[in-house]
Structure 1
């Protein structure tokens, strides 16, 4: 198991990509600190699945957009689980609106979770790694839209572009502490955020025309890359984005 004796904090971990990563990490030997907005039946089910794999699971209900709550959660995870070696910044939201109709509230909400949240959770994590004289891994779940325009989702694209530059800067600043920082950029993945797309035959067909591999990705496609980046196999990799999109990025055209 590639992550044996490691502890990973996964934000937004109750569904979709975050859930897939939490389960895959646990299967590879890691204990899991699971960030959720609230501790409910979904988080209880996931905790039981992780524990059934023989791993510990600490559920941490907090909003990543609240800096103080994030910092306190990092402390709690460290004290309860003994350490945190890996941070997966997965929590994210998007709002659909044309540029001319984007509200200030929606713009601020997207940036607060996708950029500010990832930034300050990473800061709290890196500070604890520094104080404990331990290295670490930061893995940000970005998007192909850190590169690819997405009309009617401009605040989301802005946030993912910001995450790309944040990753590059942190990779340089945190390297002396032995902390690597990388992004994973998924394309179209079978997750709850894409439910309406998957139920619309016309939209789905148009999308498939842009994906050379002719299928949507799965959370496990992304989780497999996350395991690699979290493992010792990726010791010399930092400051990079790994695209997981079936070829979408370089074959995309607006319909």
Structure 2
């Protein structure tokens, strides 16, 4: 579906924008004057709600299903949304998945699925977007949503960490190769964010206590969307190849601290 509004300005495509960080980003970019392509995998109603919020800002929204477990054809959705909205100026590779399984118990199919969704999918979507941006001739922005686990490991998350680490380095290669076309490529690496993926949809993060995170709470999806919006906007025109960690200080504490420290004793020397 495509909501009706006068076409203008720039177009962003955001994968996995039916909830959480993706929805918050769609709304933030619509508020900045962009039309938005929205993808969903299992939550069509959530995608429709995102489209409604985009429409409240007077922007067009186009919605399509994308299953990054079905590659390479899933990347066709980037072209579909760009066709429906007339162009593409920003791609946010946000859709992701993970496991909570010990390394020795992982099945090959589960590993392949996580790598497809979290690494190969963004690779192919990035190709589609970059090719269009190059043809358009006026640059563009690609933002890959990774994780603090782009930088630090986590027990039980071997495929996720491998994929996010790979996506972080892929971001750097993309930045080098696409710079001559005026396309910037950056990663945003969130910590624990209150989203459906962490079982905290619509949680007031100010009421959640996390002793192992220096700021003492999870993040709100809108806080990550603000970083993405900066990287997608004109003020970040000289920023490329970087990974922007937004984690309340979690990485400074080590990969397990956020969920495994249960007191504030570490704060005292």
TM-score in terms of structure 2 length: 0.86
CA contact (8 A) 1:39 1:61 kept: no
Deviation at 1:65, TM superposition (A): 3.9
| 1:15 equivalent in alignment to 2:19 | yes
Deviation at 1:17, TM superposition (A): 0.6
Deviation at 1:159, TM superposition (A): 0.5
Deviation at 1:67, TM superposition (A): 3.9
Other-structure match for 1:245: 247
Other-structure match for 2:97: 93
Counterparts of 1:215-226 in structure 2 under 5 Å? 215-226=217-228
Q: Distance in 2 between matches of 1:140 and 1:179?
A: 13
Deviation at 1:253, TM superposition (A): 6.1
Other-structure match for 1:157: 161
CA contact (8 A) 1:9 1:88 kept: yes
Q: Distance in 1 between matches of 2:31 and 2:123?
A: 28
How large is the Cα RMSD of the aligned pairs? Answer: 2.0
Other-structure match for 1:60: 64
Deviation at 1:62, TM superposition (A): 1.8
Q: Distance in 1 between matches of 2:114 and 2:120?
A: 9
Q: Distance in 2 between matches of 1:151 and 1:181?
A: 29
Other-structure match for 1:139: 143
Deviation at 1:76, TM superposition (A): 2.1
Give the paired residue count. Answer: 246
Other-structure match for 1:229: 231
Of residues 99, 106, 109 in structure 2, which corresponds to 1:105? 109
Q: Distance in 1 between matches of 2:74 and 2:136?
A: 19
Counterparts of 1:13-52 in structure 2 under 5 Å? 13-37=17-41, 40-52=44-56
Other-structure match for 1:119: 123
Deviation at 1:197, TM superposition (A): 11
Deviation at 1:71, TM superposition (A): 4.0
The structure with higher relative contact order (CA 8 Å, sep 6+) is 1
Distance of aligned partners of 1:105 and 1:111 in 2 relative to their CA distance in 1, 3 Å threshold: same
Of residues 210, 213, 220 in structure 1, which corresponds to 2:212? 210
Deviation at 1:74, TM superposition (A): 2.5
Q: Distance in 1 between matches of 2:241 and 2:255?
A: 28
Give the gaps of 5 or more residues in structure 1: none
Deviation at 1:50, TM superposition (A): 1.1
Tell me which moved more, 14-23 or 187-196: 187-196
Structure 1 runs (4+) deviating above 6 angstroms are 196-199
Of residues 180, 190, 193 in structure 1, which corresponds to 2:184? 180
Structure 2 residue matching 1:84: 3-state secondary structure: coil
Tell me which moved more, 169-178 or 71-80: 71-80
Give the gaps of 5 or more residues in structure 2: 1-7, 261-269
